[in-house]
Amino acid sequence: MAKKPRNAAFIEDPLWYKDAVIYQVHVKSFFDSNDDGIGDFPGLIAKLDYIAELGVNTIWLLPFYPSPRRDDGYDISEYRGVHSDYGTMADAKKFIAEAHNRGLRVITELVINHTSDQHPWFQRARHAKKGSKARDFYVWSDDPQKYDGTRIIFLDTEKSNWTWDPVAEQYFWHRFYSHQPDLNFDNPQVMKAVIEVMRYWLDMGIDGLRLDAIPYLIERDGTNNENLPETHQVLKQIRAEIDANYPDRMLLAEANQWPEDTQLYFGDRKGKDGDECHMAFHFPLMPRMYMAVAQEDRFPITDILRQTPEIPENCQWAIFLRNHDELTLEMVTDRERDYLWNYYASDRRARINLGIRRRLAPLLERDRRRVELLNSMLLSMPGTPTLYYGDEIGMGDNIYLGDRDGVRTPMQWSIDRNGGFSRANPASLVLPPIMDPLYGYQSVNVEAQDHDPHSLLNWTRRMLAVRRQQKAFGRGTL
C-alpha cells in the first residue's frame, strides 16, 4: 500500500472530506516569490499560514503542469512535471509537505478527458499509422458529421467538436477547445497511462484528485456522448485503484449535470458505499442560490434540494458560489438563465458561453449583507463548501480581460506595488491587478482587513471557526 508522509496535525479518518472546507488557489495568481511577475510554489508556501489561519483545511490547486497555457493549464503537455514558471518538482514536494505540517490537505487536478495538442502522446498519435494503438490514443474520424447529436460546449469559440489534422489526415475529437484533443478510453493503453499518472501524484502525497470534465470520457454513436455507462466503468477502475492502495484519498467529480445524472458518479455498492467518486460538485444548486437571493424567496433552493437524490453514505456533495470558470448557467431553464443574466450580468461583456464571468462581490454590487447571506448559506448547506481565493476579502474582477481571466487576477495582499503580489514591473505580470477605485488593491486587500475586526476577512474567519466546531455541518442531513 502506498503511504504518504504523516504527522500529528492529521487525524486519520477516511471520511475527512466530509469535514473539509476547500480553498481554491491558482498558483500563478497567489504570490510571486522571485519577482518575475508570476506566482509560484515558493510563494504559495510563504502564504500557507494565511490559508491555515483563514480556517479552511484543504487546498485545491488549479493545474500547474507543463502546458502551453492556451486554456490556463487545462491543456496539459506533460502530466509528470511542474510548469517552469511555477517552480520545480522539489518546490511542489516541499509545498505538499509544508501544507501537511499545517494540517492542510491538498487536492489537485487529474485532467484525463483531453490533453494539449502539444502532448507527446498526441504528437506520436498524429504521426502513427491509422488504426494503430499509438494513433488510437485519441479519437479520430474521416467523417466530421460523426456523433452529430453531441452539443458544443464552448459556443463562443468552437463551431464543431471535430478538427482536421493535416499530419494525420483525419479529424480528431474535442469536447472543449480545438487544441485539446480527447483521449480514447476505448484503448486500454490510455487507461493504463492514466492510472500511472494518478499513482505518481498520490505517491507524492496528494490527498485528493479533482476529475475534470468526466461526463465526456466515452463516445458512442446515436447518443449525446455524456454520462454513458462505459464512462462509469472507467471511473470504477480508477476508484478500485484508490481503494486498493490509497484508502485515505479522495476523488472529486466535476460533472456539470442534473442531480439525478450526477448521482451516478458516486457509484453504488449494494446501496451503501459508492464505488466511483467520493464527492461531486452540485452544479444545479449554485445558480439557484443566486436566484433565491435575487427573488428574496427560498423556493429555488428548496426545489432543487427536493430534486436531489440520496447518495451513498460515504459520499458527499461539494458546493460552491464561485470558482475559476464562469458562473455556469447550463443547469437552469432558458427562462431562468435569461432572468439571471438580466439580473447579474446586464452588461453583456460579463457574459460568456452559458454563464457569467464575474466574481462574487461584483455580482452582488459590493452589498456586504448579500455577500454574507450567500456565504452563510454556502457554509450551512449539506455538503463540503469550496471558497475561491480572494472572495474572502471581496476581490473584484476585470471583464476587459479575455476568456475567464478576469476572475483569475493576482491576489491582493496590501497597498504595495502590484497589490503585494509581486515586485516585478507591472508590464511583466501574469495578469494585471485590479486597479479600479472600488475593487482595486488600494481599497481591497488582506493587510487592511486583517487589522479590522469588522472586515469581510475576519467575518469569514469567524464563520469558518463556527463551522469547525460543529461536525453536523459536514456530516448531518436536512
Q: Which residues are catalytic?
A: 212, 254
Q: How far apart are CA 215 and CA 262, in angstroms?
A: 9
- Grid-cell match 476568456, residue found: 403
What the block records as the C-alpha cell of 141 is 474520424
Q: How far apart are CA 216 and CA 225, in angstroms?
A: 6
Q: Please state the φ and ψ torsions of residue 413, each to the nearest 5 degrees.
A: -90, -35
- Please answer whether residues 217 and 226 qualify as being in contact, where contact means their C-beta atoms are separated by less than 8 angstroms: no
For the chain, how long is the longest CA-to-CA vector?
66
Give, in order, the Cα–Cα distances in Å from 459 to each of 20, 275, 319, 463.
Answer: 19, 38, 20, 6
Pairing of strands 384-388, 22-25: parallel
Tell me whether residue 273 is exposed, middle or buried, using C-beta atoms within 10 angstroms of its C-beta: 0 to 12, 13 to 18, 19 or more: middle
Q: How far apart are CA 140 and CA 134, in angstroms?
A: 12
CB atoms inside a 10 Å sphere around CB 149: 9
Q: How far apart are CA 94 and CA 278, in angstroms?
A: 27
- Please answer whether residues 30 and 389 qualify as being in contact, where contact means their C-beta atoms are separated by less than 8 angstroms: yes
Q: How far apart are CA 304 and CA 327, in angstroms?
A: 17
Q: How far apart are CA 454 and CA 190, in angstroms?
A: 52
SS3 label, residue 135: helix
Sign of CA dihedral 66, 430, 87, 21: negative
Q: What b/e readout covers 352-380, taking b as 16+ CB neighbours within 10 angstroms?
A: bbbbbbbbbbbbbeeeeebbeebbebbbe
- Please answer whether residues 320 and 386 qualify as being in contact, where contact means their C-beta atoms are separated by less than 8 angstroms: yes
Nearest to 456 by CA among 382, 386, 373, 378: 373
Q: How far apart are CA 127 and CA 125, in angstroms?
A: 5
Q: What is the 3-state secondary structure (H, E, C) of 378-445?
A: HHHCCCEEEEECCHHHCCCCCCCCCCCHHHCCCCCCCCCHHHHCCCCCHHHCCCCCCCCCCCCCCCCC
